Chain A
Amino acid sequence: MSRCNRKGLFVPVALALGLIFGAPQVSGATNGTLTVLWDANTTDTDLNGYRVYLSTDATLFNLTPAAARPLATTRTVGTSTTTSVFTSLNTASTYYVAVTSYDTSGNESVFSNVASAQPAVTPTLTSVSPTSATQGDTGVTVTLNGTNFQSGAVVSFGPGLTVTALNTSAVPLRLVATVDVETTAPVDMRDVSVTNPGNGVATKTNGFQVLLDVARVDINQSNRIDGGDIIEVAAAFASRSGDASYSVDFDLNVDGAVDGVDLSFLVTYFGSVGPF
């Protein structure tokens, strides 16, 4: 016996409604997508399907499903489906979504919880300036130019770099990040990514470079990069993170291994005299 038969009303079981944002291939500020996910109804034996309600009016969900149905965008799906994607939504609007389930007799449950989100806007990231910073730098102002940036976007430069502030006053075309670079941030090229609130992501491959802090090459802090420093690295040569002989002090590019790359840094700066 189903709950709707027992109570005359279909009890909602799809209470966990999650939203994720749409696929990044959607382009243009007015072409947003919204992906709706919900938990399956596993208790009702006569379950016949789900009905997804979409609206920009949150108060609609104070009504009964039957009353809200003509006012909302609705979609019915079968019992084996627990996801639905809405496309071509207005990216400037906040949408509210709830799901009901209905049985073979046509009884419909009350609304699930109501989730809300803005449709995804896929940004583009065309340039990053400056394109590098040095280990240990703090308060570096980095300007990111592109399109479709949104307030609330998150900027990432990869491990060892922290965005301490993000100025979004020039969205959708520009973000200005303030970045701190850890002294042991890996020395390498970075992919810079901008993630809008709806998970639309833009990535600039190798868009930023972390440069070696030359002071780190003066390992024994003698104020001269010389044989003493190479000897120090040599003693830990071929060690890897976790080895007894490994220390990040010798791993100049912070890639987890003391190897020829670190040695090449020493050779490059060999003979340099500080202060660094």
Chain B
Amino acid sequence: MQARFRVLWMLGAALWLAACASGAGGSDEDSNPLASGLTANFVGDASPVCPGNADTLSLRRVNAVGRNVAVGIAVTDCDASMGIYGVVFDVTFDPSIMQCASSNPCMPGTLLSQPLLTSNPQCTCNNTTGEILGVFTRKAPGTNESVAQSGIEDIVQFVMRINRAGVGRIDLAGTGDVNGTALVALSGSSPSDPPAAIAGLAYSGGSAVGQ
């Protein structure tokens, strides 16, 4: 009996060691209890309603896959009155909850069509301060775009990667300013007619959730 017990004990120890060895070979991500099993989501602050409301530039969820969530910078134009040349944006985020999925986490949305100044939005991400600066425009002297009445379209999308459980804000900063966040229109083709921010927009952000 004792010998049989010793064999079982050794077999159990071997299985335990094998399990430990298997665990040691996994990724850091998997061994991080904060990140393990996380799924990402994003909840926008507002759902634009037309007519009667202001035109909006807001953040909304596009999709979420595992720890990554794609967020759209969405444009609504309740009366189809805006001529949109492009967008500049200054997005702030909570770096303790999320990071940019890549150094240029931005993708074109559906609003701007060719010819574009750059095929992809130009973005830069600072994961320390939690800020994305970006710009995406048509190629001058191209015509402005417009959003169908009561329609909603993303002008840019960006992907964030959740790195821990919790809720973190994502907001549009410096709104209404071409050095912050604004939709932009071209009033002319001369340097004396510089691009201008489209006035009268309502802005809103949202919360990214890691759970």
List, in ascending order, chain A residues with CB within 8 A of B178's CB.
Answer: 220, 227-228, 231
List, in ascending order, chain A residues with CB within 8 A of B177's CB.
Answer: 228
B48 CB–A CB distance under 8 Å: no
Work out how many contacts link A and B, with CB atoms closer than 8 A. 86
Stretch among B29-37, B94-102, B132-140 lining the A interface: B132-140
CA distance A236 to B186 in the complex (A): 11
Report whether A236 and B122 are in contact in the complex, using a CB–CB cutoff of 8 Å.
no
B114 CB–A CB distance under 8 Å: no
Closest chain-B Cβ to A200's Cβ sits at a distance in Å of 45
B110 CB–A CB distance under 8 Å: no
Report whether A231 and B90 are in contact in the complex, using a CB–CB cutoff of 8 Å.
no
Number of interface residues of A (CB under 8 A): 25
Closest chain-B Cβ to A270's Cβ sits at a distance in Å of 5
Say whether, besides A234-B140, A270-B124, A271-B133, A228 and B88 are in contact (CB < 8 Å).
yes
Say whether, besides A235-B195, A270-B122, A244 and B190 are in contact (CB < 8 Å).
yes
B86 CB–A CB distance under 8 Å: yes
State which size class the interface on B falls in. Answer: 20 to 34
In this complex, what residue of B is CB-closest to A246? B191
Q: Which of B176-208 contact A (CB under 8 A)?
A: 177-179, 184, 186, 189-191, 193-195
In this complex, what residue of A is CB-closest to B89? A227
B126 CB–A CB distance under 8 Å: yes
Report whether A222 and B179 are in contact in the complex, using a CB–CB cutoff of 8 Å.
yes
B107 CB–A CB distance under 8 Å: no
List, in ascending order, chain A residues with CB within 8 A of B118's CB.
Answer: 263, 267
List, in ascending order, chain B residues with CB within 8 A of A228's CB.
Answer: 88, 177-179
Among B86, B139, B190, B193, contact of A231 (Cβ-Cβ < 8 Å): B86
A237 CB–B CB distance under 8 Å: yes
Say whether, besides A222-B179, A237-B139, A267-B122, A227 and B189 are in contact (CB < 8 Å).
no
Closest chain-B Cβ to A185's Cβ sits at a distance in Å of 20
A249 CB–B CB distance under 8 Å: yes
A238 CB–B CB distance under 8 Å: yes
A213 CB–B CB distance under 8 Å: no
Report whether B133 and A270 are in contact in the complex, using a CB–CB cutoff of 8 Å.
yes
Q: Which of A216-235 contact B (CB under 8 A)?
A: 220, 222, 224, 226-228, 230-232, 234-235
Among A237, A266, A270, contact of B140 (Cβ-Cβ < 8 Å): A237
Among A220, A230, A237, contact of B122 (Cβ-Cβ < 8 Å): A230
Say whether, besides A226-B179, A245-B140, A231 and B191 are in contact (CB < 8 Å).
no
B152 CB–A CB distance under 8 Å: no
B117 CB–A CB distance under 8 Å: yes
In this complex, what residue of B is CB-closest to A238? B140
Q: Which among A234, A237, A266 has the greatest number of chain B C-beta atoms within 10 A?
A: A234
1/0 per residue, CB under 8 A from A, across B158-183: the answer is 00000000000000000001110000
The 8 A-B residue pairs with the shortest CB-CB distance, nearest first, are A227-B88, A227-B135, A271-B124, A228-B179, A228-B178, A247-B191, A237-B140, A230-B135
Q: List 9 A-B contacts (CB under 8 A).
A: A220-B179, A224-B179, A226-B88, A235-B189, A236-B140, A246-B191, A263-B117, A267-B122, A270-B133
**Residues of A participating in the B interface, judged by any CB pair closer than 8 Å:** 220, 222, 224, 226-228, 230-232, 234-238, 244-247, 249-250, 263, 266-267, 270-271
Task: Given A226-B179, A236-B140, A244-B190, output 17 extra A-B contacts at Cβ < 8 Å.
Answer: A222-B179, A226-B90, A226-B133, A226-B135, A227-B89, A227-B134, A227-B178, A228-B88, A228-B177, A231-B88, A231-B195, A234-B85, A234-B195, A235-B186, A237-B139, A238-B141, A245-B191
